[in-house]
Chain A
Amino acid sequence: MQNSSTPKDIGQISFGLMEPEEYREMSATKIITADTYDDDGFPIDMGLMDPRLGVIDPGLECKTCGKHSGSCNGHFGHIELAAPVIHVGFTKLIRRLLRGTCRECSKLLLTEDERDEFRDQLDESRKLSRDLNDVTKAAIRQARKKDKCPFCGEIQYDIDHEKPTTYYEVQQVLTSEYSQRIAGAMQGDEEEGIERTTPDELAEKTEIELTRVNEILSGSFRPRESQRKAIEKALDIDLTEEDTNKLMPSDIRDWFENIPDEDIEVLGINPERSRPEWMILTVLPVPPVTARPSITLDNGQRSEDDLTHKLVDIIRINQRFMENREAGAPQLIIEDLWELLQYHVTTFMDNEISGTPPARHRSGRPLKTLSQRLKGKEGRFRGSLSGKRVNFSARTVISPDPTLSLNEVGVPDRVAKEMTQTMNVTERNLQDARRFVSNGPEGHPGANYVRRPDGRRLKVTEKNCEQLAEKVEAGWEVNRHLIDGDIVIFNRQPSLHRMSIMAHEVVVMPYKTFRLNTVVCPPYNADFDGDEMNMHALQNEEARAEARVLMRVQEQMLSPRFGENIIGAIQDHISGMYLLTHDNPRFNETQALDLLRATRIDELPEPSGIDDEGEPFWTGHAVFSELLPDDLDLEFTGTIGDEVVIEDGQLLQGTIAEDEVGEFGGEIVDTITKVYGNTRARIFVNEVSTLAMRAIMHFGFSIGIDDETIPEEAQSRIDETIDDANDRVEELIEAYDNGELESLPGRTIDETLEMKIMQTLSRARDNAGNIADEHFQDDNPAVVMANSGARGSMLNLTQMAGAVGQQAVRGERINRGYEDRTLSHYEPNDLSAEAHGFVENSYTSGLTPREFFFHAMGGREGLVDTAVRTSKSGYLQRRLINALSELETQYDGTVRDTSDTIVQFEFGEDGTSPVKVSSGDDNDIDVEHIASRVLDSEFDSEEEREAFFDSKPRPTNLSEHADDRLTEGTEVTSDD
């Protein structure tokens, strides 16, 4: 054995079948007895726990490789099967081969030309990386059509496959009651107009001698095949019955052994690596004990692994089989035992085959055998390899903390004390390291473990921490607690985009929740109604550096989906900014300083003016402008439709709200991120949110039922509108009943009526809303939220104050329920607004029971819709990610998959990252603007710029031989 402690490179992996001889070669021992341990508790030689199969008990030495448990991976053994059995994993392929090859000479049932053609097709498919199965399936299909072998002429029979592992040959043979059937057919049938046939006629038709016919009719002669066919044709009957002949695994093995190598190639099998007869097992490998360790229970009893149980079964049957065969037992018993052996080997590999009862434990629990270890969510692939539980992670409920920066995360102290960072002690951090260790595992910031230079790892305890701290020297490692400023990864599921996992800086805090700034809610799609999030502490410098540079929240400010900022002010921030800037209110010095107190600004600018009392004042615009970069120039149409003008970092005009500083593409945040960088944008967003919180607290902001209540006069106007609409609907219905309604183009009369009613009613709702709106002041909190884009819309307000309006299911008025009516409260075929889910009331005035019911119907549809949509889109997303996950943009700009096939000739067809460039239909890249900005910053004066653009670049003169090429056309300027 080589030195296995050095890591090895995998040079190649090849897939194929294993030859029985290979199983024997790699086997550490042959297993012959089903017993595991002897009476003294020692493993029995050549038993299932043979010490040559590896060690699990610590302290023991492996008899094969001499290593101890932990470093010995275990070694395979083998069982010599008394009779061959079929490998369940290959039943389909076995069936295919049986159907496609000759039962006599085993050659593929294709002429040589056909065979070569399929081989060529296979080569081509391989080149085009198409599915090879299409070709091999077609080859088998073609071969199955042959009822005679083109080489030896043997007649071929159908192969029946009885799942999972039984194969039959089906032959059509003469039925034993042939004489009765012939006689019956010769009787004829008067009702169906079939005439009688005399033996003479039959003899004539079939060209069989009359005496033979009579012999056949009497049942004393069995007609030959040609005679049978002639009679069948003459009398239009079927004289055959199916005769099935079971193919034993040994027969199949013999059959497959004779298939020539050239024929296998056509079926997509590489004959050098895999011979079909190897699909029939004659040797069974026994997994090492390390793959099926036995556990010692509390009472000292050993409990064996499911695989071991299964192997015991196999060995027992195998032995009984051999004994019976040697004793010359009848064929029937042998076949039964053979089937039993097949069953045990089958369930050893897969215990969830349909049609086969699963092998069970004594307790009745189905055994977990090989395939069950691999399959499914908890299987080896999905459960242990693609995803696994990790150390240094924490999960808890999240809650908001507006005092944190958006880059930070509040980590509960009990989490910080559990999760550690490795600290390499040097002279420079020795003092810190000692302090951490002396604080012990309970104090914060403390340490949980230290590692001496000799590699010994010591646990820091409350008892030993003081002494241990003194021993710590440079060269030690200290696993210290998380402290403020450490970088960690933070994640909320579902992780739908890359901003679902971002890096945050730790701020250790009391209590039990993770705290985060509310502006990072949109990228995580988080709220605080009980959401939990995961945190991962990074364990090496490389990971920490990568996280800090690439994954920090501020680096994820722009979404790669639409190229604009995904982080920005939300909800109350927006309302606050709106209140601060909308009417441009005035603040005295104390107030202005209070607004800005959580920002970097500690000195107020020049006052905006002096008020009537002679006191200086600062306007909302001036206060907000303090947060802007000094040289920011911006002009655009804002949220409320006014022009927002920023010049030299001063907000001159306009209201700051959602489209200015909001989460999805707030213009100012977006511009600052792109022009001034992520750090400046982080500062800006942090400061906007704190300023907004101060502003909203300054003005006060609350909402109550009175804010959605309208005066009586308005209510009666709304009632009137609704009555009007009801009248108009009645008119429409009357016109419809009288047949006076004219249908709209492309619509039936019924559809026309429905459409007109819907129109009328939605207009009524809008009118009611407009009336309600008239009575809301601009400072109404619901109006402020709707106008600023903080939350809610005017429609919500309309429904609260005016009328809720038509309820719809599937985009139509509510039509379902009883026969010809929605509820038993209404007459059948009542088409009125009320009877089909029009809600006249507002949420404030309250819904009637019937209205409430219709409202619940509409609401239910919405709920079901979102539930279905999320599950559908989640699945779609999974499929898409799986399909695209291996695509990669190459250095030449192309996007390719792992086999180097080109998917896009240029990434995104324009070769640009949406995060670096934002362009869209309504937002062309303003090349001139960018160019002039670059030039402005590049040249201090107009002259310099002129000089640069007029100067001709000197030709490079690397070699004198290049002189004559350069002199052509351009003049050579002297170098001195």
Chain B
Amino acid sequence: MVDVSQHELVPEHTVLEDDTLEEVLEEYDIDRTDLPKIQRKDPALPDEAEIGDVIKIVRDSRTTEQAIIYRLVVE
């Protein structure tokens, strides 16, 4: 089976550590439920990602070099 997450067009998805997560939530002054969502079954997710985790996505952007997006893993 092809591992989609290894494809060059799929940006890097990493699970955020708890302390960095705290920083992120504090920076934006939000609860994690205010983040955009990503489904657990999304093939781009790393295997260890669990529901409730926050994923950091670093992707190429049309307007800037790289954009960082955080998403909450949901069912």
Interface residue B35 (Cβ < 8 Å from any Cβ of A): yes
Interface residue B6 (Cβ < 8 Å from any Cβ of A): no
- A257: chain B residues within 8 A (beta carbon): none
Instruction: Report the count of interface residues on A (CB-CB < 8 A).
Output: 17
- A912: chain B residues within 8 A (beta carbon): 63
Q: Which of B33, B37, B61 contacts A909 (CB 8 A)?
A: B61
CB <8 Å contact, B28 and A909:
no
Interface stretch among B14-22, B42-50, B67-75? B67-75
CB <8 Å contact, B63 and A908:
yes
- B33: chain A residues within 8 A (beta carbon): 127-129
What mask results when residues 885 to 904 of chain A are scored 1 for a CB within 8 Å of chain B, else 0?
Answer: 00000001010000111110
| Given A910-B63, A912-B63, A905 contacting B68 (CB threshold 8 A) | yes
- B11: chain A residues within 8 A (beta carbon): none
- B69: chain A residues within 8 A (beta carbon): 905
- B28: chain A residues within 8 A (beta carbon): 892, 894, 902, 905
- A909: chain B residues within 8 A (beta carbon): 61-64, 67
| Given A892-B28, A906-B67, A901 contacting B61 (CB threshold 8 A) | no
Q: Bound complex: CA of A128 vs CA of B29, how far in Å?
A: 17
CB <8 Å contact, B63 and A905:
no
CB <8 Å contact, A905 and B34:
no
Q: Bound complex: CA of A909 vs CA of B57, how far in Å?
A: 13
CB <8 Å contact, B64 and A902:
no
Interface residue B30 (Cβ < 8 Å from any Cβ of A): yes
Q: Using CB atoms, name the residue of chain B closest to A917.
A: B63
CB <8 Å contact, A905 and B70:
yes
- A919: chain B residues within 8 A (beta carbon): 63
- A894: chain B residues within 8 A (beta carbon): 28
Name the distance in Å between A923's Cβ and chain B's nearest Cβ: 12
| Given A128-B74, A909-B63, A900 contacting B34 (CB threshold 8 A) | yes
| In the complex, chain A residues 106-134 whose Cβ is within 8 Å of any chain B Cβ | 127-129
Name the distance in Å between B38's Cβ and chain A's nearest Cβ: 12
CB <8 Å contact, A900 and B64:
no
Q: Using CB atoms, name the residue of chain A closest to B68.
A: A905
CB <8 Å contact, B36 and A903:
yes
| Given A908-B63, A909-B64, A910-B64, A901 contacting B34 (CB threshold 8 A) | yes
- B74: chain A residues within 8 A (beta carbon): 128
Name the distance in Å between A903's Cβ and chain B's nearest Cβ: 7
Q: Bound complex: CA of A806 vs CA of B37, how far in Å?
A: 52
Name the distance in Å between B70's Cβ and chain A's nearest Cβ: 7
- A908: chain B residues within 8 A (beta carbon): 63
Q: Bound complex: CA of A127 vs CA of B33, how far in Å?
A: 7
Name the distance in Å between A310's Cβ and chain B's nearest Cβ: 46
| In the complex, chain A residues 121-155 whose Cβ is within 8 Å of any chain B Cβ | 127-129
CB <8 Å contact, B63 and A902:
no
| In the complex, chain A residues 723-777 whose Cβ is within 8 Å of any chain B Cβ | none
Q: Bound complex: CA of A541 vs CA of B68, how far in Å?
A: 44
Name the distance in Å between A661's Cβ and chain B's nearest Cβ: 28
| In the complex, chain A residues 240-275 whose Cβ is within 8 Å of any chain B Cβ | none
| In the complex, chain A residues 900-950 whose Cβ is within 8 Å of any chain B Cβ | 900-903, 905-906, 908-910, 912, 919
- A900: chain B residues within 8 A (beta carbon): 30, 34
Which of B37, B62, B63, B69 has its CB near the most chain A CB atoms (within 10 A)?
Answer: B63
- A905: chain B residues within 8 A (beta carbon): 28, 67-70
- B35: chain A residues within 8 A (beta carbon): 901-902
- A129: chain B residues within 8 A (beta carbon): 33
Q: Bound complex: CA of A901 vs CA of B70, how far in Å?
A: 12
Name the distance in Å between B52's Cβ and chain A's nearest Cβ: 11
Name the distance in Å between B18's Cβ and chain A's nearest Cβ: 19
Q: Bound complex: CA of A632 vs CA of B2, how far in Å?
A: 57
CB <8 Å contact, A902 and B61:
no
Q: Using CB atoms, name the residue of chain A closest to B66.
A: A909
Name the distance in Å between A894's Cβ and chain B's nearest Cβ: 6
Q: Using CB atoms, name the residue of chain A closest to B72.
A: A128
Name the distance in Å between A854's Cβ and chain B's nearest Cβ: 43
Name the distance in Å between B23's Cβ and chain A's nearest Cβ: 14
Q: Bound complex: CA of A900 vs CA of B29, how far in Å?
A: 10
| Given A909-B61, A910-B61, A902 contacting B30 (CB threshold 8 A) | yes
Name the distance in Å between A538's Cβ and chain B's nearest Cβ: 36
- A901: chain B residues within 8 A (beta carbon): 34-36
Name the distance in Å between A897's Cβ and chain B's nearest Cβ: 10
- B70: chain A residues within 8 A (beta carbon): 905
Q: Bound complex: CA of A905 vs CA of B56, how far in Å?
A: 12
Q: Bound complex: CA of A578 vs CA of B65, how far in Å?
A: 40
Q: Bound complex: CA of A901 vs CA of B69, how far in Å?
A: 13
Name the distance in Å between B12's Cβ and chain A's nearest Cβ: 16
- B36: chain A residues within 8 A (beta carbon): 901-903
Name the distance in Å between A125's Cβ and chain B's nearest Cβ: 10
Q: Bound complex: CA of A912 vs CA of B63, how far in Å?
A: 9
Q: Bound complex: CA of A909 vs CA of B68, how far in Å?
A: 8
Q: Bound complex: CA of A899 vs CA of B33, how far in Å?
A: 11
- A892: chain B residues within 8 A (beta carbon): 28-29
Q: Bound complex: CA of A906 vs CA of B70, how far in Å?
A: 12
Name the distance in Å between B19's Cβ and chain A's nearest Cβ: 19
Q: Bound complex: CA of A229 vs CA of B68, how far in Å?
A: 66
Name the distance in Å between A843's Cβ and chain B's nearest Cβ: 43
Q: Using CB atoms, name the residue of chain A closest to B67.
A: A909
Name the distance in Å between B31's Cβ and chain A's nearest Cβ: 8
Q: Using CB atoms, name the residue of chain B closest to A126.
A: B33
Q: Using CB atoms, name the residue of chain A closest to B61.
A: A909
Q: Bound complex: CA of A869 vs CA of B6, how far in Å?
A: 39
Q: Bound complex: CA of A901 vs CA of B32, how far in Å?
A: 9
Name the distance in Å between A788's Cβ and chain B's nearest Cβ: 33
Q: Bound complex: CA of A718 vs CA of B49, how far in Å?
A: 70
Name the distance in Å between A840's Cβ and chain B's nearest Cβ: 47
| In the complex, chain A residues 69-128 whose Cβ is within 8 Å of any chain B Cβ | 127-128
CB <8 Å contact, B37 and A128:
yes
CB <8 Å contact, B34 and A902:
yes
Q: Bound complex: CA of A903 vs CA of B36, how far in Å?
A: 7
Q: Using CB atoms, name the residue of chain B closest to A912.
A: B63
A-B contact pairs, 24 of them (CB 8 A): A127-B33, A128-B37, A128-B74, A129-B33, A892-B28, A892-B29, A894-B28, A900-B30, A900-B34, A901-B35, A902-B35, A902-B36, A903-B36, A905-B67, A905-B69, A905-B70, A906-B67, A908-B63, A909-B61, A909-B64, A909-B67, A910-B61, A910-B63, A912-B63
Question: With A902-B35, A910-B64 given, can you name 9 additional A-B contacts, CB distance below 8 Å?
Answer: A128-B37, A894-B28, A902-B36, A903-B36, A906-B67, A909-B61, A909-B67, A910-B61, A919-B63
A-B CB proximity, top 4 nearest: A910-B64, A910-B63, A909-B67, A909-B61
